[in-house]
Structure 1
Amino acid sequence: MVLSSTASSTARRLGAADQSGRAPQGGAAEPGLRERKKQRTRDALRAAAFELFARKGFEATTVEEIADAVEVSSRTFFRYFGGKDDVVLATIDDQYTDVLAAFELRPADEPVWTAMRRATAEVLARYESGETGMSAESFARVTGLVSVSPALTGRALELCTTRIDEGTQLIARRMGVRPEQDPRPALVAAVMLSAIQTATGAWRENEPDTPTSVLVDRAFELLGAGIDYPAA
């Protein structure tokens, strides 16, 4: 999945009801009845999936069980998700979209790394508090599933990698440079992804009870201070 790499495309993604189903920032028009019904079904499927994952385990849960829990057919499930792993990945994609949108809305004179750090912390805090239409418990389960499943970890990394170019374009725009001539925007986008992966992966294992937003913000803080550490 290769997504648009322009800043305006991010605004368009948030300016109308799409599959993420969350209200766009800035007070855009309410979605229609059909879209709201579709979003309710999608949210119900996701909630049922995470409940089953928590109770039975990710591997043991089937698509049929998820659909049955919402009293819809498996065919209906596949209208919204490509498979049970896509329930998890769709949430991660939603988060990435929200981070990029929040980054774009940061004050224009704010330095790139500061703006990205604050945008990421803001978005993760909203997910942790259940302000996005997804329960805080479901968000915690997403983080837990990705951290313990090598297959999901790999797919999540692959998903975010496909969106590095989108982040690169937004970073370049803030810096006022052309990314094909200046390598820094792509470097920042890649480092941002690595910081999030490290915080939610390796650090999560050692600090299971620390909020994701805190772990990720710590990674951003360390990188912002520089990593040319002295030798022992």
Structure 2
Amino acid sequence: MAEPTGLRERNKHERRRRLEDVALDLFERDGFDKTTIELIAAEAGLAPRTFFSYFATKDDLVLGDYSERLDRILTELDEHPEEEPAWDALRASFAAVASDYESEEHRIRRRFTIMANSPSVIARSLHLQAGWEQTLAERLAARSGTGVDDPTPRLLAAMALAIMRVSLQHWLITPNAPALPELVQHGFAQLASGLTPP
């Protein structure tokens, strides 16, 4: 009998999570560059080829569920009426996704530390962020009906992503920092009111 779709997806998610946990442990113990995909798979009790059913690269183990986070932002954005100002819709969407990060704080801290010491992961992260910016700009352009020659959607996307990145970094490295959604909301408010230099 075939495995029900819900159970299959749950099992796949658990195997993916197991690979992440094993990899993060190994990266912390041995260093990112010295840890091979073969070792990660062996420690997780999987064949190396199975690894690629879950992750495209070793870097993606550190970066986590990047595509899922983007999907979540787009879903949140789509729930806002097109008449709502784009900046307000972005602020609410990013703050909602920031709440998701808080439930994963320990794992995100581990990823952040590993990424900070790995140039290849930083490069992969920047590449993915550029893709996010493009996708988000296209969605904003579609919402507003602007043409491809209008730079406004891309500018809005770039600013929103910068706010999220800076807020996340501040939240991770600052003792007793405010909640991440609060930092994100504050970042959007600062830019909306005209950011003044310190």
Q: What TM-score does the superposition give when structure 1 sets the normalisation length?
A: 0.69
Amino acid at match of 1:179: G
Equivalent residue, structure 1, for 2:159: 191
Correspondent of 1:80 among 35, 42, 54: 54
Equivalent residue, structure 2, for 1:8: none
In percent, how many aligned pairs have the same letter? 33
Q: Secondary structure at the match of 2:71?
A: helix
CA RMSD of aligned residues (A): 2.8
Contact 1:96 1:160 (8 Å CA) reproduced? no
Correspondent of 2:174 among 207, 211, 217: 207
Moved over 6 A (4+): none
Q: Distance in 2 between matches of 1:145 and 1:122?
A: 26
2:66 is aligned with 1:92: yes
Gaps of 5+ in 2: none
Contact 1:143 1:200 (8 Å CA) reproduced? no
Greater shift after overlay, 61-70 or 158-167? 61-70
Contact 1:179 1:185 (8 Å CA) reproduced? no
Amino acid at match of 2:145: V
Residue 32 of structure 1: CA displacement?
4.3
Equivalent residue, structure 2, for 1:154: 123
2:140 is aligned with 1:171: yes
State the aligned residue count: 194
Correspondent of 2:191 among 223, 228, 231: 223
2:26 is aligned with 1:59: no
Q: Secondary structure at the match of 1:59?
A: coil
Q: Secondary structure at the match of 1:80?
A: coil
> For the structure 1 residues 91 and 142, does the alpha-carbon distance in structure 2 shift closer, same or farther, using more than 3 Å as the test?
farther
> For the structure 1 residues 121 and 45, does the alpha-carbon distance in structure 2 shift closer, same or farther, using more than 3 Å as the test?
same
- Summarize deviations over 1:157-212 as a string: whole Å, max 9, x none: 111212322211221233x32232432111101222222333344x4685265354
Residue 59 of structure 1: CA displacement?
3.3
Equivalent residue, structure 2, for 1:41: 15
Q: Distance in 2 between matches of 1:191 and 1:92?
A: 18
Q: Distance in 2 between matches of 1:165 and 1:41?
A: 31
Q: Secondary structure at the match of 1:180?
A: coil
Equivalent residue, structure 2, for 1:115: 89
Greater shift after overlay, 186-195 or 85-94? 85-94
Higher helix share: 2
Residue 40 of structure 1: CA displacement?
2.4
Gaps of 5+ in 1: 1-29, 131-135
> For the structure 1 residues 142 and 216, does the alpha-carbon distance in structure 2 shift closer, same or farther, using more than 3 Å as the test?
farther
Q: What TM-score does the superposition give when structure 2 sets the normalisation length?
A: 0.79
